[in-house]
Amino acid sequence: MGELLAVAHVAVIGVMIRRAVLEAAPRAWEPARDRLYCRREGQGTAILFLHGLAGSWRYWRRGLPELARDHALYVPDLLGFGRSPKPRGDYSAAMHAEAVGGLLQEIGTVEVVVGHSMGAIILPRLPLTGRRGASVVRKPGCYRPPRQERVPKALRSGAPRFLLRPGSRDVAWRQGRR
């Protein structure tokens, strides 16, 4: 109990599973500042969906009606996206996981959490207890190793190599001012 059984790179989504059943009426709510807007549909086994970068709950809308027949669906807008407020701090995965954790406290227990792209990056950081099953993540869209994040794209492409030669900064600066 409380142990993640497997991590594999085989699907476009991330999934974490644990036991629970929730029954509630369909609704949408807008929590107070620094809390997530969340779309709520259906009744039954609870499933939480996390969208990717620059998305909103609407990313999942085509599949919701059919899934809502047998499941309680919770589809939030992450902080800074859709109807959720901007975060006071940064947009880190840890910050998003904290906000989703607050939503999970309100919801109660969920059996399945599905994340796309950035949502899949948030999944392993969620404060889920008693989980069992697997986390499946394939090429989360916004992930880059920290080392690459510090290197500007222009330098990675190799095009402006002249900028790396001594004395070339002044030339480049003057060219940019014209």
> Per-residue b/e over 12-22, b at no fewer than 16 CB within 10 Å?
ebbbbbbeeeb
Chain region(s) in the chain for CATH 3.40.50.1820? 6-143
Closest alpha carbon to 137 in 152, 115, 158? 115
Query: Could you give the CA distance from residue 101 to residue 114 in angstroms, rounded to a whole number?
Result: 14
Please write the tens of the pLDDT for every residue from 79-130.
999 999 888 777 788 888 888 888 888 888 888 888 888 888 888 888 765 5
Q: Considering the entire predicted model, what is its pTM?
A: 0.59
Q: Cβ atoms within 10 A of the Cβ of 48, count?
A: 25
Per CATH, domain 6-143 is 3.30.1540.10: no
- CA nearest 99: which of 117, 112, 116, 81? 81
